[in-house]
Amino acid sequence: MTQKSLHEFGMIKRLLAPLTLGVPGAFELKDDVAQLPHSAYGQVVTCDQIIEGTHFFPDDPLDLVAKHLVRRNLSDLIAKGCRPRGALLTLAWPKAWSLPRLALFIKGLGEDLAELGDHCPLYGGDTSQTSGPLVASLTLIGEPLAASHAPILRSGAKPGDHVYVTGVIGDAYLGLEGRLGKQSVNDLKACQGFALAPLPTPLAMSAPIAHYAHASIDISDGLLADAAHLATNSRVRIELALDCIPLSSEASQWVEKSDNRVDALLNLATGGEDYQALMCVSAEQSEDFINQAQRNGTRLSKVGQCWPGQGLTISYLGQVIRLPKKMGWSVSF
Amino acid sequence: MTQKSLHEFGMIKRLLAPLTLGVPGAFELKDDVAQLPHSAYGQVVTCDQIIEGTHFFPDDPLDLVAKHLVRRNLSDLIAKGCRPRGALLTLAWPKAWSLPRLALFIKGLGEDLAELGDHCPLYGGDTSQTSGPLVASLTLIGEPLAASHAPILRSGAKPGDHVYVTGVIGDAYLGLEGRLGKQSVNDLKACQGFALAPLPTPLAMSAPIAHYAHASIDISDGLLADAAHLATNSRVRIELALDCIPLSSEASQWVEKSDNRVDALLNLATGGEDYQALMCVSAEQSEDFINQAQRNGTRLSKVGQCWPGQGLTISYLGQVIRLPKKMGWSVSF
């Protein structure tokens, strides 16, 4: 490695050190390990990566790329009823890239972590150069908020449970299609923002999910694919009503103008990267769940119900319709 | 993503699931988060990555590449007086690579984790495809064994401390030089193995390090660079004796045959990736430390001493000599 690049890694440390928020366990990023804060119960971990050319385009703004990385991980923790407690970052950084690009990436990372108040200091990580595209991986550590002190899993849904989703679905799909020049969307700019760095479920949803959800998942593979994951793992049948899927005004208009509204809705429901939570809550507790979520200002929509049986079924205006061949993506484990 | 690659990711899960050792918190790799075992004190984390073209050659055997990844992380935990408790893996996997290559990588990973008994189950991770070279990142979670319940840091060494190193130094350097065709080494084959997957400090060293070391670091950047890190962070001067650096018989013979023995030793002491521990222990406790380490069968050599002052100085046969310009590498934070 040249002196220039050694200098560069010194710079990374200097840029990243403020993100530790001064927590003692990060040792100012000057040591080889970090010590997490003590927790009375087993902590929860998740890690997801973001790869240039796979998850984002080479000319995407790097602050939004970093936010996308934070949000795809944060979304996992929130959907599991957990509060973040810290982060670890690994960067495989392209040799030819300039320091301002790096500073922009770290700016985006810092802005998103700052949104979490003092909940998510950076504890450490690793940076190396690569001759290939950027690969960034984030590990988030979280604290389960449920009385059981466990995360809310894909399993646990019961027949009779109502199925809810936070926020809106499909803007990431439309943004990506617009980006690829495949669709003309009314306000493409807004959707493109979602495609680059979709806003996840608000952090405040961790608590109602932890307190009320029997099962929960974040929608990263696609609404249908993730609902199928819940159904399979919980051994119930989930029926989703396509016409109840919450949409942004841009997505609503796009569906209205489509030749085939069902196909349009299916595209939105299988596009993935919505980073909303899909949750199963008993009929009895639904009112309390909705009230607690809405006190935090979260939009919540009932999109389906759990039944005895297995797998996913979908309906449109009360009529059962066939599942599409492709229900979404599946890459994490 | 095509059906073929979806199948591939199903395969990854099946190959990786046995590495969870059935611990409940891994949820059989079927959920989006994992729950670590509860710990009475703050757990320690470290993460390091390995990048094709940066840390290994494209034609290196992938089982050894995976072992290198495990060992560079394990080495950090052991040098900090910690015992591993679990692992998380992220893989950016080249699109064109075949399943047997993947199986070989996971075989190597599994063999090294199995060496740790039931100490290091795989808790989860993320796998995606990349158009670029392989990037693999491992996060290890560990338990500090020190009475303070904290990791042994780079800081903490005191004037008068003896400086010890485990194992031998420089085989990774010779293996790499041999691989690059730059050096002819007597038994190049043995050294090449070290270059690909250097054997780290034995796990059993965690306890004596935790109990006796004032400061400790794993030698990844290079013996001189890492000794300088200890000196800087501990605000002491460390003097190392080049002639006391422990060498394998292959490395000894190579030094004997070199035109300039000091230059040869300096090369071995700045090559990096030895993954041995460099530790500072008080003169009073040195005997107990050595006894405990040797009961575990670990080779331990005294290579220097801490003095009032700052920075690193080196000697050869009792004469102080000038530090080389390049003391090693520096890429982690």
DSSP B214: S
Cα–Cα distance measured from residue B232 to residue B226, given in angstroms and rounded to the nearest whole number: 10
Interface test with A, best of B5, B44, B130 (most A CBs within 10 A): B130
**Candidate from B30, B54, B90 with C-beta closest to A137:** B90
Cα dihedral B299, B305, B311, B316 sign: negative
B-chain CB neighbours of A34 within 8 Å are 44-46
Asked if A144 is an interface residue toward chain B (Cβ–Cβ < 8 A), one would say yes
Q: Give the model's pLDDT for residue A331.
A: 45
Contacts of B217 (CB under 8 A, 6+ apart): A32, B79, B154, B226, B229, B230, B277, B278
Cα distance between residue B248 and residue B185, in whole Å:
12
For residue A329, say whether it is annotated as part of any ligand binding site: yes
Interface of A with B in 201-220 (CB under 8 A): 217-218
ipTM above 0.95, yes or no: no
Q: Name B307's Cβ contacts closer than 8 Å, sequence gap at least 6.
A: B159, B160, B236, B237, B238, B239
Q: How far apart are the first and last CA of chain B?
A: 34
| Mean pLDDT across chain B | 91
A101 is in an annotated binding site: no
Which residues does chain A have within 8 Å of residue B129's beta carbon, measured at their own beta carbons?
Answer: 51, 54, 331
Express as a percent the part of chain B with pLDDT over 90: 76
Q: How far is CA B49 from CA A109, A162, A331, B37, B324, in A?
A: 19, 42, 20, 24, 28
Q: Tell me, what's the pLDDT at A3?
A: 44
Cβ atoms within 10 Å of A260's Cβ, excluding its own:
10
Residue B253 banded pLDDT, cuts 50, 70, 90: very high
Residue A194 confidence (pLDDT): 66
Query: In this structure, what DSSP letter does residue B26 have?
Result: G
Q: How many contacts does A have with B, using Cβ atoms within 8 A?
A: 232
Judge contact between B125 and B20, C-beta under 8 A: no
Mutate to test the interface with B, among A130, A141, A218, A275 (most CBs of B within 10 A): A130
Q: Is the dihedral of CA B88, B138, B128, A48 positive or negative?
A: positive
Smallest Cβ–Cβ distance between B48 and the set A35, A45, A126 belongs to A126
3-state SS, residue B4: helix
E-strand stretches of B41-130: 44-51, 82-94, 122-130
Reported confidence tier of residue B333, pLDDT bands at 50, 70, 90? very low
**A-interface mutation test, from B19, B33, B69, most A Cβ less than 10 A away:** B33
Which residues of B are less than 8 Å from A46 in CB distance?
32-34, 124
C-alpha–C-alpha distance, residues B145 and B139, integer Å: 19
pLDDT at residue A142 in the model: 95
Nearest residue in B to A91, CA atom: B49
The yes-or-no verdict on residue B78 having pLDDT over 70 is yes
Q: Please, are residues B242 and B223 in contact by the beta-carbon 8 Å criterion?
A: no
What are the two backbone dihedrals, phi and then psi, of residue B138, each rounded to the nearest 5 degrees? -120, 135
- Check CB contact under 8 Å for A45 and B141: yes
CA distance B80 to chain A (A): 8
For chain B, the domains span 3-144, 162-321
Number of H helices, E strands in chain B: 10, 12
A75 is in an annotated binding site: no
CA distance A15 to A9: 10
Q: Is B82 on the interface with A (CB under 8 A)?
A: yes
With a cut of 50, which residues of chain A have pLDDT below it? 1-4, 6, 331-333
Residues of chain B in contact with residue A9, where contact means CB-CB under 8 angstroms, are: 330-331, 333
Q: Which of A163, A303, A186, A172 is nearest to A234 (CA)?
A: A163
On whether any CB of chain B is under 8 Å from the CB of A126, the answer is yes
Nearest to B78 by CA among B181, B198, B218: B218
Q: Would the annotation count A48 as a binding residue?
A: yes
Task: Scan residues 287-316 of A and list those with Cβ closer than 8 Å to B.
Answer: none
B162-321 matches B3-144 in CATH topology: no
Rounded distance between C-alpha atoms, residue A83 and residue A301, angstroms: 23
- How many other C-beta atoms are found inside a 10 Å radius of the C-beta of residue B95? 14
Residue B75: which of B290, B291, B273, B332 has the closest Cα? B273
Interface residue A240 vs chain B (CB under 8 A):
no
Distance CA A129, CA B135 (A): 11
Nearest to B51 among A92, A329, A333 (CB): A92
Nearest to A176 by CA among A47, A92, A271: A271
Separation between Cα atoms, residue A120 and residue A117, nearest integer Å? 7
Instruction: List the single residue in B with minimal CA-CA distance to A28.
Output: B333
Q: Of B31, B132, B144, which is closest to A133 when you measure between CB atoms?
A: B132
Instruction: Give B208 to chain A, closest Cα distance, Å.
Output: 18
B228 at interface of A, judged by CB pairs closer than 8 A: no
User: What CATH architecture does domain B3-144 belong to?
Assistant: 2-Layer Sandwich (3.30)
Among residues B199, B200, B198, B196, the alpha carbon closest in space to that of B61 is found at B196
Q: What is the pLDDT of residue A274?
A: 94
Using CA atoms, how far apart are residues A146 and A213, in angstroms rounded to an integer? Answer: 9
Residue bearing tokens 């205006």: A317
**Span B131-168, pLDDT tens digits:** 999 999 999 999 999 999 999 999 999 999 999 999 99
Residue type, B51: I
In this prediction, residue A14 carries a pLDDT of 85
| Fold topology of B162-321 | Phosphoribosyl-aminoimidazole Synthetase; Chain A, domain 2 (3.90.650)
Residue A202 Cα, gap to closest chain B Cα (Å): 18
Q: Tell me the nearest-neighbour CA distance from B245 into chain A, angstroms.
A: 23
Q: Which 3-state string (H, E, C) describes A87-126?
A: EEEEEEEECCCCHHHHHHHHHHHHHHHHCCCCCCCEEEEE
Instruction: Check if B333 contacts A (Cβ < 8 Å).
Output: yes
Q: For B234, phi and psi rounded to 5 degrees?
A: -95, -5
Residue among A42, A131, A141 minimizing CB distance to B38: A42
Nearest to B31 among A125, A154, A329 (CB): A154
Express each pLDDT in B47-65 by its tens digit.
999 999 999 999 899 999 9
Q: Does A330 touch chain B (CB under 8 A)?
A: yes
Torsion on CA atoms B313, B315, B320, B326, rounded to nearest 10:
-50
Q: Note which residues in 3-62 of chain A have CB less than 8 A from chain B.
A: 6, 9-10, 12-13, 16, 25, 27, 29-49, 51-55
C-alpha Rg value of chain B to the nearest Å: 20
